[in-house]
Amino acid sequence: MSRIIFWLGLVFLVIFAVRSKIRAAQKRHQQQFRQPPPQQPAQPQPQQTYKARAATQAANDAEVMLQCAHCGVFYPASETVQANGRDYCSAAHAALPSA
Ligand SMILES: [Zn+2]
């Protein structure tokens, strides 16, 4: 019986240690996230939650996608080839007659 209690206590200690480690890592990560990166001195909304800030960061990193008028594939807007007032994924598709 004492063996069972010993092993149960050991398991609880391990679980507690792992949980406190994870919590400390999350805190450290949030503190890193709170500090503005050196290239961007102004943080737009300092009172935002961690999740909201992560979503904003992802939205800022994402690029606008356009759909090719010929093949219909989505591609970054910076790679667009415009012809006849339409957007194409490549010069080859811009040269082809649109479907
Ligand atoms: Zn295309």
Taking the centre of ligand 1 as the mean of its atom positions, its distance from the CA of residue 66, in whole angstroms, is 10
Taking the centre of ligand 1 as the mean of its atom positions, its distance from the CA of residue 89, in whole angstroms, is 4
pLDDT score for 43: 59
Q: What is the mean pLDDT of residues 9-36?
A: 77
Taking the centre of ligand 1 as the mean of its atom positions, its distance from the CA of residue 68, in whole angstroms, is 5
pLDDT score for 79: 94
The DSSP call for residue 1 is: -
Taking the centre of ligand 1 as the mean of its atom positions, its distance from the CA of residue 58, in whole angstroms, is 26
Taking the centre of ligand 1 as the mean of its atom positions, its distance from the CA of residue 78, in whole angstroms, is 14
- pTM, whole model, 2 decimals? 0.40
Domain boundaries, the chain: 1-38+48-62, 63-99
Please state, as a whole number, how many other Cβ atoms lie within 10 Å of the Cβ of residue 66.
19
